[in-house]
């Protein structure tokens, strides 16, 4: 204690000696009484420490120790030396940027706190893809993924950029000198500036090729459009203009051609006179299919024939020549019906096809033409460049590589060794190339076979400009200094092309020169998007620049040829058909190393951390395969071996999927990764290991393994609603022509009532208690429109990242311990009817009710804490850890919670989540959840939300931190909180506007009107919990 | 001195005098434990230690080491809690209610029954504590002033009612038991040869001398304590049942729970007393005090309470169906339960609790020690299943099918339960060798009225006239 | 009890009925039965000795009232006055409205107070406490013997008394001298 040395923390303090005192002042309102005895020189030096001194010191140290031992841990913090003026601690900054990884595209707002990007929001200003799907909602976490390449690498040892540059340039020039090809293999490139850079880069070499490949091939589709319009690009679709939508296997609400159409689609789904009718013909039960008014099972091999039949039906009606077809498709009748619907809608009709088949596309184009939809719902003037890949070119390239004609190759956004593993021996061919460079964020499947790995920056660390479609432009700007020693693709090429200056300058210049007439760069950068009526000089980069080989065939558009080939396909179809699809969470697998996305339950099967074969009940029976539940309810399944030609996929687990077309199986791509990191690696199997070819389906041999047992992590145990009024549904005509509530009680939205001495009363009126005042101040309510909700899951991930909700890993999900505050329940319709119930025994009846129908209607219902005003959870908490706020919210005080779990038991909605373990700083159990167990990962945590400790209960708080912020802002401005000022995370993530949050005491508010809507009902209203969340009855437009 | 009718069968058989009673009661304490005792004791001790291990593991890692999930937040923990509390009811009931009803036959069993109460309530009290996510904050449940000032407990919560009910019940039973023990301790003190023993019993006996005035007060205090304990014992399980009855979960939300839980508690409590005493009388040679009479009388109580429980089940089953609410389709007493994934638990309950006790209607069975012993054990298994069914089955299938789940225990769940059983027997075995297992002072008061030899004498006299 | 000025006579009996008869006779003869030690409560002994009714029960009743009041004040103070909350919509406006939810706690505390305080009173009034030294003059009185203590006034002759006690069926009769020795 006698020691009087001076210590300084950091240079800042040394340079500025006043700082210490300053900090001291800020820290304690009044100085601690330590000096009283510590400064007493004699007492300290001539060590005659008296008993009283000793006691003083003892007292002080004990007190200090006690304080130090308080529950909240103190982490070391590094203050800004020079604070950037735009960063105000405690306040969020938003930056507009865009995401493109060669597959997914969206323009976004990024929320940063103290310079850390922590949340992805939708860019409402964007006209095209202004909303992040579930994947992009989670993409911010990938920024902090420690398994990213943290520095450039040669083979396995890391090197610095200069060495890499030198060696790469040297390698490529050698190759060029040797008269060999230098190849740039990328995903679709939609950046005009990147195109410039690529051209510059290519100029250095005699034989330069730029080959483009998409994770999932669309080259046949593109070929069709090239043949039809001469331009190798897909059109833009305007679903908002469509009144009749007929989709043949196009999962446009899930993953289709890259254009996100769900918001447009939702616009036509508002119950009313001009609500659209949506018919879906498909093999897998897709997200789109489950939202359709009517869904018909159709094998992919019959799709062409069905389309031709549709063509004929319409041609007949229009008195045009019809095609002569052999045989009839299994859905002939339905197709005729679809034809009528389309004709009724005329120009407001829209036919779309999925898969990747030129013939189908030609028929679709022709049908839309006939209907006059082209130019209306199908916009061929504005072409969409999100899909540009050419498999022909890739195949040629592979051949050349095998033949040793290629001397150097640079890869970016392209991973053929994974995405084409089954189709071609790319990896082997790659070995024949002398200089192999991968510009990649990960040492992924293809990169592993390269000798130079240029560590690529995350999109939140990069500059770029995008032209997703004619007339649509957007900018990508970094929201954080590079986390690792990385560089973005364009910067690399610029170096290797010997270009000077930075990529940002280049973009800015080209924009200022070419595009921005009256608007300033800053302005556009702020908006992040820029819509220009006419194509602009500065950025009219044509995708045709890339090599697309000689794909287009002269007679491609000849419909007679098409008719013949589609009939042939239908006739030759015999065996089982495998249909590839993408899951909401993982997609094509670019962001797969992300626990949030892996743990996002599949909207249909509600299964996490897996891909699997979806099998129809009939086929399962035939093959002797089944799913069953363990004694703890966990789901198990058998498996199958899949064989296509020489390619095999062993032990693929099976889920028996209601609605799956018999004779077909579905399998998601994007799984079975190697080299992406601890989260993605080894989860599921790579579907593209099978040689499916360019189409998204192929005939497959299925070898059942009835002995095999695979453990699934499925969070939903029940299939149906068991005859309970959980999701209320009615059809359009009833909705339009009948009252919601009638005295007779046969309305389409009868609300529960109880007989009292005052007559029939609503549950919230039948109470013995005098009620609390909910009229003064705010009364937060939420409306969820079951018509708008497509079940895409964006809200779930948004909630997870906003509220620091832990991902718990496969084992814990399997134990039904998922932590999602917001879940989207999925229900299938059952085949049981009133009549059936009559002649079934009770036991049989229950058994039947639990089974889903063969072709079920599917219902999605987002459920979060309903914030009941008579909350069962509150009453039972012994320590009053959960109580009700005066604003109608159900609060949860984590510090007070002792974890009896009584509240969760007593919650009718089962929305409360318990911290069974310590989910943060618990590496040995929850390693995969790096957002809470790695210092880097923790950067993503929202500082406004507590990270819950072990043993406490947690649940949806209606984003209380956002509510507080909204109220504070309003208070600062001295005005009442405006409607829409406070948006919950789920609400702002929902691009269909299904979720509306607001103050029902504000009679102007949207939520207030919605509460008065005829479609309004409370979930389990009859229980009398008086929820603050209400739902809007689902209205389907069945024919 | 009143004599009872000769028709009544004697409660003390054999030719016993006051000294005999003293000797018989203090024999276990003054002799050394037989090998059999040591074997059973060490088994119990092992189980106890294993249980402690599992508890430490739980507290170290988190409740996640149990089999619970987001839907089923309680399972074995609260099942065991209710089960032990239920068992705990018999003791107080026997000594309190039977005392009020002047049932003399209670005297030879109430001491052990009360001991059982104390020990099983200790087991019960363990579970609410360790089932907490953060047991180290358990003191939050007490209305203590704290640094946050206005941070009080929630008196609306049934769990808090439990806190008060269980602690009151435990402490009052303990006091009741101890007051009764004092004269017997002083008896042991006065007999003790070994000075250490003498010293211990001197401390335990509070210097009791058996003065007339003290006896007078003693009897009044016992009577009043009995009067207090009677509503108390009924209130405890009523309140425990309210944990469920006041909730909104289908199957839990049932207004007949209080009376039916109390009946169930007595049912299982008496069964447990039987189990224990049938062993004790043999091991400690108390055949002439714990007689066939006692066994039969207790069996009769079991028939009665078992009947009440059975009626309650049927009522639940009927109401679940009659309510017409399909939320009730799968409650623990319903067709859904009888045929659903938990059918095995449902039928286990029916067989153990409704069918097996029916055998007791035969006089031969209820006067047969072995049969009563087996049946008493079956009943205890059945009562455990009753609580398991109510908690797990009702939670596993409540309102929203999307959240339905199931439960299966981990080795920790099982370990802790086994541990409490071990702990219970450790305590009981120690008690059996160091405490007067029969309230000898009380028993002496009825020797003349109910002793076999005295009854004979009296009979002779009457014939003589 | 045994003091020099007041010679105490002790009589041991081996049967409760005999003892009871003895007590009655001795008191009829005008002797003062100062104390009786017995291994178990002998019914009718307190009347025979002319002991007053005990008031334990009354104390218990008042302790119960204390408990009830305490519980009511606690719930009122904590949940109504100090920090009223909206807990599941339960009306915390007045104690009366919220009271039904407090009944269990009120009941339990009533019993708690009544039982425990009464037992404390019992111990205090009897002067019983852990480790108190043994107070019964003859160890057999906790086994099977009954001991009557008579303190004759100076006017009464102890020989007469001894004779009386013997014929009343006492198995042993002794003067305090050897008893105290």
Q: Which residues pair with A758 in a beta bridge?
A: none
Optimal mutation site among C27, C44, C134, interface B, most CBs of chain B within 10 A: C134
Helix (H, G, I), strand (E, B) or coil at A431: helix
Looking at per-residue confidence, does B79 or A381 come out higher? B79
Contact residues on chain C for B218, CB-CB shorter than 8 A:
41, 122
Give residue for tokens 């007067």: B436
- Cα–Cα distances in Å, from A773 out to A777, A997, B412? 9, 20, 47
**Chain B partners within 8 Å of A859 (Cβ):** none
How far, in Å, CA of A927 to CA of C66, rounded?
57
Q: Specify the 3-state DSSP secondary structure of A40.
A: coil
Tell me the chain C residues in contact with residue A877 when contact means C-beta distances shorter than 8 Å: 87
Asked if C111 lies within 8 A of B172 by C-beta distance, the reply is yes
The rounded distance, in Å, linking the Cα atoms of A23 and B198 is 70
Asked if B22 and C144 come within 8 Å (Cβ–Cβ), the reply is: yes
Residues of chain A found within 8 Å of residue C91, distances taken between Cβ atoms: 769-772
**Chain mean position to CA A189:** 22
Q: In the predicted model, is pLDDT for residue A52 greater than 80?
A: no
pLDDT of res. A31: 52
pLDDT tens track for A851-910: 898 899 999 999 999 999 999 999 999 999 999 999 999 999 999 999 999 999 999 999
Residue C172 half-sphere exposure toward CB, CA atoms < 13 A: 15
pLDDT value, residue B16: 78
B442 CB neighbours in chain C (<8 A) are 40
Tens-digit pLDDT profile for residues C8-24:
888 888 888 888 888 88
The b/e string for B61-94 (b: 16+ C-beta within 10 A; e otherwise) is: bbbbbbbbbbbbbbbbbbbbbbbbbbbbbbbbbb
Residue A756, SS3?
strand
Q: Are the C-beta atoms of A781 and A998 separated by less than 8 Å?
A: yes
pLDDT of residue A735: 94
> Tell me, what's the pLDDT at C2?
41
Residues of chain B neighbouring A607 (CB-CB closer than 8 A): none
Query: Which helix (H) or strand (E) element contains residue A706?
Result: strand A697-711
Q: Which residues of chain C have pLDDT under 50?
A: 1-5, 178-181
Asked if A541 and A287 touch (Cβ cutoff 8 Å), the reply is no
Q: Please, which residues 851-870 of chain A have a Cβ atom closer than 8 Å to chain B?
A: 861, 863
Q: Which of C51, C105, C107 is opposite residue B213, by nearest beta carbon?
A: C51
Across the interface, whether the CB atoms of A876 and B131 are under 8 A apart is answered no
Predicted TM-score (pTM) of this structure: 0.89
Does position A927 have pLDDT exceeding 60, yes or no?
yes
DSSP bridge pairs for B62 = none
Model pLDDT for residues A660-703, shown as the tens digit of each residue: 999 999 999 999 999 999 999 999 999 999 999 898 999 999 99
Pick the range with the lowest mean pLDDT from A49-63, A536-550, B376-390: A536-550
Instruction: Please compute the mean of the pLDDT values over residues A527-546 and round it to a whole number.
Output: 59
Q: How far is B406 from chain A (nearest CA, A)?
A: 5
Look at residue A43 and tell me whether its pLDDT is greater than 70: no
Q: What is the pLDDT of residues A183-220, one digit of tens each?
A: 999 999 999 999 999 999 999 999 999 999 999 999 99
Coil, helix or strand for A954?
strand
Across chain A, mean pLDDT equals: 89
Closest-CA residue in chain C for A884?
A: C86
Whether B2 shows a pLDDT value over 60: the answer reads no
Residues of B in Cβ contact (< 8 Å) with A910: 70-71, 398-400, 403
Contacts of A523 (CB under 8 A, 6+ apart): none
Say how many residues make up chain A.
1039
Question: How does DSSP classify residue A239?
Answer: G
Q: Measuring CA to CA, how many Å separate A201 from each of A397, A500, C109? A: 19, 12, 87
The answer, for B74 touching chain A at a CB cutoff of 8 Å, is: yes
* Chain B residues in contact with A897 (beta carbon < 8 A): 133-134
- Note the pLDDT of residue A654: 96
Q: Which long-range contacts (CB under 8 A, 24 or more apart) does B358-364 make?
A: B360/B299, B360/B300, B360/B302, B360/B303, B360/B306, B361/B303, B363/B296
Mutate to test the interface with A, among C80, C85, C87, C88 (most CBs of A within 10 A): C88
Q: If you measure CA to CA, which chain A residue comes closest to B163?
A: A878
Does position A1010 have pLDDT exceeding 80, yes or no?
yes
B12 pLDDT higher than 90: no
Band (A544; pLDDT cuts 50, 70, 90): very low
| Candidates B19, B156, B172; nearest CB to C143 | B19
Q: Would you place residue A1019 in the very low, low, confident or very high pLDDT band (cuts 50, 70, 90)?
A: very high
Predicted pLDDT at C1: 43
Beta-carbon separation of C111 and B441 below 8 A: no
- What distance in Å separates the CA atoms of residue A661 and residue A762, rounded to the nearest whole number? 44
pLDDT at residue number A966: 94
Quick check: C100 contacting A, CB < 8 Å? no
* Residue in C with minimal Cα distance to A770: C91
The per-residue pLDDT for C169 is: 82
pLDDT band at A304 (very low <50, low <70, confident <90, very high): very high
Burial track B119-133 (b if 16+ CB lie within 10 A, e otherwise) = bbbbbbbbbbebbbb
- CA of B403 to nearest chain A CA: how many angstroms apart? 6
pLDDT at B72: 95
Q: Is the confidence at residue A17, as pLDDT, over 80? A: no
Is A819 an interface residue toward C (CB < 8 Å)?
Answer: no
Confidence of residue A416 (pLDDT cuts 50, 70, 90): very high
Average pLDDT over residues A112-133: 91
pLDDT above 90 covers a percentage of chain C that reads 34
Interface test with A, best of B403, B406, B412 (most A CBs within 10 A): B403
Q: Residue C77 and residue A406: Cα distance in Å, rounded?
A: 86
Cβ of residue A883 closer than 8 Å to a chain C Cβ: yes
**pLDDT-based confidence at A759, cuts 50/70/90?**
confident
User: d(Cα B51, Cα B41) in Å, to the nearest integer?
Assistant: 15
Higher pLDDT, A751 or A551: A751
- 8-state DSSP, A672: S
Neighbouring chains to A with at least 3 Cβ pairs closer than 8 Å? B, C
DSSP state of A890: B
Least-confidence region, from A45-54, B139-148, C102-111: A45-54
- Mean pLDDT calculated for residue range B183-193: 88
Query: Tokens 């009557």 map to which residue?
Result: C148
pLDDT tens digit string along B410-443? Answer: 999 999 999 999 999 999 999 988 898 888 888 8
User: Is the pLDDT at A8 greater than 70, yes or no?
Assistant: no
Residue in B61, B69, B138 closest to A817 by CB: B69
A880 in contact with chain B, both atoms CB, cutoff 8 A: yes
Residue A222 CA from chain centroid, whole number? 25
Strands (E), A864-999: 913-914, 953-954, 995-999
Q: Do C108 and B183 touch (CB under 8 A)?
A: no
Chains that contact C by 3+ CB pairs under 8 Å? A, B
C104 interaction partners in chain A (CB closer than 8 Å): none
Question: Which burial class, exposed, middle or buried, applies to C157 when counting CB atoms under 10 A from its CB (0-12, 13-18, 19+)?
Answer: exposed
Q: What is the pLDDT of residue A6?
A: 59
Q: Taking 90 as the threshold, does the pLDDT of residue A415 lie above it?
A: yes
Cα separation, B315 vs A974, in Å, equals: 62
Test B335 with A909 for CB contact under 8 angstroms.
Answer: no
Put simply, the answer to whether C88 touches A769 (Cβ < 8 Å) is: no
Mutation site, A875, A885, A886, interface C, largest C CB count within 10 A: A875
Which is nearest to A129 in space by CA: A264, A245, A247, A251?
Answer: A264
Contact between A870 and C89 using a beta-carbon 8 Å cutoff = yes
pLDDT confidence of residue B193 = 85
């Amino acid at each position: 204690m006698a020691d009087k040395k001076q210590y300084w923390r950091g240079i800042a303090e040394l340079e500025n000696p006043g700082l210490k005192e300053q900090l001291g002042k800020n820290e304690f309102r009044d100085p601690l009484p330590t000096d009283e005895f510590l400064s007493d020189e004699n007492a300290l030096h001539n060590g005659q420490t008296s008993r009283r001194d000793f006691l003083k010191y003892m007292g002080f140290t004990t007190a200090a120790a006690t304080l130090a031992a308080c529950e909240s841990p103190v982490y070391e913090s590094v203050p800004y030396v020079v604070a950037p003026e735009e960063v105000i601690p405690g306040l969020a900054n938003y930056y507009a940027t865009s995401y493109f990884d060669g597959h997914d595209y969206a323009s976004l707002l990024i929320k940063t706190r103290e310079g850390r990007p922590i949340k992805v929001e939708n860019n409402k200003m964007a006209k095209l893809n202004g909303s992040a799907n579930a994947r992009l909602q989670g993409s911010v976490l990938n920024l902090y993924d420690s398994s990213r390449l943290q520095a450039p690498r040669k083979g396995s040892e890391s090197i610095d950029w200069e060495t890499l540059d030198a060696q790469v340039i040297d390698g490529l020039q050698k190759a060029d000198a040797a008269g060999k090809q230098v190849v740039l293999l990328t995903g679709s490139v939609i950046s005009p500036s990147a195109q410039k850079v690529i051209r510059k880069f290519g100029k250095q070499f005699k034989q330069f090729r730029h080959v483009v490949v998409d994770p999932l091939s669309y080259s046949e589709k593109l070929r069709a459009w090239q043949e039809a319009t001469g331009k190798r690009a897909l059109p833009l679709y305007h679903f908002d203009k469509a009144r009749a939508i007929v989709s043949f296997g196009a999962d446009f609400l899930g993953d289709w051609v890259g254009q996100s159409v769900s918001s447009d689609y939702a616009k036509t789904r508002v119950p009313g006179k001009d609500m659209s009718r949506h018919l879906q013909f498909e093999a897998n039960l897709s997200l789109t299919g489950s939202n359709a008014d009517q869904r018909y099972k159709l094998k992919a091999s019959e799709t062409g024939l069905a389309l031709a039949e549709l063509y004929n039906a319409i041609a007949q009606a229009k008195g045009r020549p019809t095609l002569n077809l052999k045989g009839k498709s299994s859905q002939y009748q339905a197709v005729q019906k679809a034809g009528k619907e389309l004709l009724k809608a005329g120009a407001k009709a829209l036919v779309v096809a999925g898969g990747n088949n030129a013939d189908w596309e030609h028929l679709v184009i022709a049908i839309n033409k006939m209907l006059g939809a082209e130019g209306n719902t199908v916009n061929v003037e504005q072409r969409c460049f999100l899909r540009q890949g050419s498999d022909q070119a890739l195949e040629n390239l592979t051949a050349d590589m095998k033949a040793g004609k290629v001397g150097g190759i640079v890869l970016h956004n392209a991973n053929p060794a994974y995405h084409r593993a089954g189709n071609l021996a790319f990896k082997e061919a790659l070995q024949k190339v002398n200089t192999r460079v991968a510009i990649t964020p990960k040492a992924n499947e293809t990169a592993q076979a390269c000798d130079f790995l240029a560590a690529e920056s995350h999109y939140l660390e990069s500059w770029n400009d995008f032209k997703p479609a004619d007339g649509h432009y957007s900018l990508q700007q970094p929201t954080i200094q590079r986390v690792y020693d990385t560089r973005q693709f364009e910067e690399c090429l610029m170096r290797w092309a010997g270009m000077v200056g930075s990529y940002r300058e280049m973009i800015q210049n080209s924009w200022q020169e070419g595009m921005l007439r009256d608007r300033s760069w800053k302005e556009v950068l702020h908006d992040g998007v820029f819509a220009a009526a006419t194509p602009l000089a500065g950025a009219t980069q044509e995708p045709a620049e890339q090599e697309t080989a000689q794909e287009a065939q002269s007679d491609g558009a000849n419909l007679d040829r098409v008719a013949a080939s589609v009939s042939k396909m239908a006739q030759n179809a015999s065996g089982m058909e495998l249909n590839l699809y993408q899951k909401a969470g993982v997609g094509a697998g670019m962001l797969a190393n992300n626990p949030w996305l892996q743990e996002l339950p599949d909207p249909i099967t509600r299964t996490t951390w897996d891909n699997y074969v979806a099998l129809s009940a009939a086929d399962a029976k035939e093959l002797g395969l089944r799913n069953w539940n363990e004694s703890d309810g966990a789901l198990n399944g058998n498996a199958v071996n899949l064989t296509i030609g020489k390619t095999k996929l062993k032990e693929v687990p099976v889920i028996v999927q209601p609605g799956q077309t018999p004779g077909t199986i579905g399998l998601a791509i994007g799984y079975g990764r190697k080299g992406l990191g601890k989260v993605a690696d080894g989860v599921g199997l790579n579907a593209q290991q099978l040689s499916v070819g360019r189409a998204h389906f192929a005939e497959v041999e299925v070898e059942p393994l009835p002995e095999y047992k695979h453990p699934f992590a499925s969070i939903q145990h029940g299939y149906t609603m068991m005859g309970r009024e959980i999701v209320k549904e009615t059809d359009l005509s009833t909705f339009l022509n009948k009252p919601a509530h009638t005295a007779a009680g046969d309305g389409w939205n009868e609300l529960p009532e109880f007989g009292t001495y005052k007559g029939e009363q609503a549950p919230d009126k039948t109470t013995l208690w005098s009620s609390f005042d909910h009229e003064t101040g705010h009364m937060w309510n939420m409306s969820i429109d079951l018509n708008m909700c497509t079940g895409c899951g964006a809200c779930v991930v948004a909630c997870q990242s906003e509220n620091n909700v832990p991902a718990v890993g496969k084992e814990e999900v399997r134990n039904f311990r998922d932590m999602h505050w917001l879940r989207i329940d999925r229900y299938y319709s059952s085949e049981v009817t009133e009549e059936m119930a009559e002649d079934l025994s009770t036991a049989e009846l229950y058994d039947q009710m639990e089974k889903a129908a063969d072709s079920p209607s599917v219902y999605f219902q987002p459920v979060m804490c309903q914030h009941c005003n008579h909350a069962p959870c509150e009453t039972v908490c012994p320590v009053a850890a959960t109580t009700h706020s005066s604003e109608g919210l159900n609060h949860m005080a984590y510090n007070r919670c002792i974890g009896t779990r009584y509240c969760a038991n007593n919650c009718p909605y089962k929305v409360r989540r318990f911290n069974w373990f310590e989910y943060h700083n618990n590496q040995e159990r929850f390693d995969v959840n790096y957002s809470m167990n790695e210092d880097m990962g923790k950067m993503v945590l929202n500082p406004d939300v507590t990270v819950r400790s072990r043993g406490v209960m947690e649940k949806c708080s209606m984003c209380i931190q956002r509510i507080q912020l909204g109220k504070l802002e309003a208070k600062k401005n001295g005005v009442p909180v405006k409607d829409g000022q406070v948006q919950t995370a789920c609400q702002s993530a929902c691009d269909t506007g299904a979720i509306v949050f607001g103050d029902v005491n504000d009679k102007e508010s949207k939520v207030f009107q919605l509460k008065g809507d005829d479609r309004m009902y409370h979930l389990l209203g009859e229980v009398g919990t008086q929820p603050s969340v209400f739902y809007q009855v689902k209205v389907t437009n069945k024919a | 001195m009143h004599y009872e009718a000769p028709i009544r069968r004697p409660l003390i058989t054999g030719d016993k005098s006051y000294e005999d009673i003293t000797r018989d009661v203090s024999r276990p304490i003054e002799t050394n434990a037989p090998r059999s005792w040591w074997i059973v004791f060490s088994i119990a001790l092992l189980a106890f230690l294993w249980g402690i291990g599992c508890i430490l593991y739980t507290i170290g890692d988190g409740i996640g080491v149990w089999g619970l999930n987001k839907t089923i937040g309680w399972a074995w923990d609260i099942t065991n809690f209710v089960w032990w509390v239920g068992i705990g009811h018999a003791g107080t009931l026997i000594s309190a209610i039977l005392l009020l009803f002047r049932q003399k036959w209670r005297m030879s069993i109430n001491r052990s029954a009360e001991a059982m109460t104390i020990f099983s309530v200790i087991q019960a009290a363990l579970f609410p504590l360790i089932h907490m996510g953060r047991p180290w904050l358990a003191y939050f449940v007490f209305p203590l002033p704290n640094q946050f000032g206005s941070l009080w407990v929630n008196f609306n919560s049934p769990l808090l009612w439990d806190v008060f009910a269980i602690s009151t019940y435990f402490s009052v039973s303990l006091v009741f038991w101890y007051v009764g023990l004092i004269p017997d301790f002083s008896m042991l003190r006065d007999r003790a040869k070994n000075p250490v023993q003498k010293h211990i019993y001197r401390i335990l006996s509070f210097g009791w001398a058996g003065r007339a005035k003290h006896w007078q007060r003693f009897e009044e205090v016992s009577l009043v304590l009995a009067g207090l304990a009677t509503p108390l014992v009924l209130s405890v399980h009523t309140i425990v049942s309210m944990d469920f009855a006041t909730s909104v979960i289908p199957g839990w939300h049932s207004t007949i729970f209080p009376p039916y839980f109390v009946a169930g508690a007595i049912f299982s409590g008496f069964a447990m007393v039987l189990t224990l005493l049938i062993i004790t009388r043999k091991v400690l040679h108390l055949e002439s005090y714990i007689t066939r009479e006692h066994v039969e009388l207790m069996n009769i109580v079991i028939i009665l309470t078992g009947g009440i429980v059975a009626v309650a089940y049927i009522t639940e089953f009927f109401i679940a169906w009659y309510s017409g609410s399909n939320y009730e389709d799968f409650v623990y007493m319903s067709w859904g339960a009888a045929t659903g994934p938990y059918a095995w638990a449902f039928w286990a309950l029916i067989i153990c609790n409704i069918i097996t006790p029916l055998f007791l209607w035969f006089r031969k069975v209820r006067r047969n020690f072995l049969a009563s012993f087996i049946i008493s054990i079956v009943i205890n298994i059945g009562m455990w299943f009753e609580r398991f069914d109510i908690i797990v089955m009702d939670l596993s299938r409540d309102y929203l099918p999307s959240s339905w789940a199931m439960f299966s225990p981990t080795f920790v769940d099982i370990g802790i339960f086994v541990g409490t059983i071990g702990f219970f027997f450790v305590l009981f075995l120690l008690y059996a060798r160091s405490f007067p297992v029969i309230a000898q002072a009380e028993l002496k008061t009825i020797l003349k009225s109910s002793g076999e030899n005295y009854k004979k004498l009296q009979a002779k006299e009457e014939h003589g006239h | 009890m045994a003091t020099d000025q007041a010679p105490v006579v002790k009589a041991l009996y081996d049967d409760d009925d005999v003892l009871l008869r003895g007590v009655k006779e001795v008191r009829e003869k005008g002797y003062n039965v100062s104390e009786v030690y017995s291994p178990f409560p002998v019914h009718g002994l307190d009347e025979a000795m002319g002991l007053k009714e005990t008031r334990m029960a009354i104390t218990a009743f008042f302790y119960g009232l204390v408990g009830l009041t305490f519980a009511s004040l606690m719930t009122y103070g904590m949940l109504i006055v100090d920090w009223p909350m909206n807990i599941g919509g339960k009306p915390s406006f007045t104690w009366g409205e919220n009271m039904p939810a407090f009944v269990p706690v009120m009941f339990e505390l009533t019993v708690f107070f009544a039982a425990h305080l009464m037992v404390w009173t019992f111990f205090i009034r009897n002067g019983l406490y852990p480790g108190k030294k043994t107070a019964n003059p003859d160890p057999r009185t906790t086994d099977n013997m009954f001991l009557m203590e008579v303190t004759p006034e100076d006017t009464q002759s102890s020989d007469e008394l001894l004779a009386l006690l013997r014929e009343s069926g006492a198995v042993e009769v002794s003067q305090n001298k050897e008893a105290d020795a």
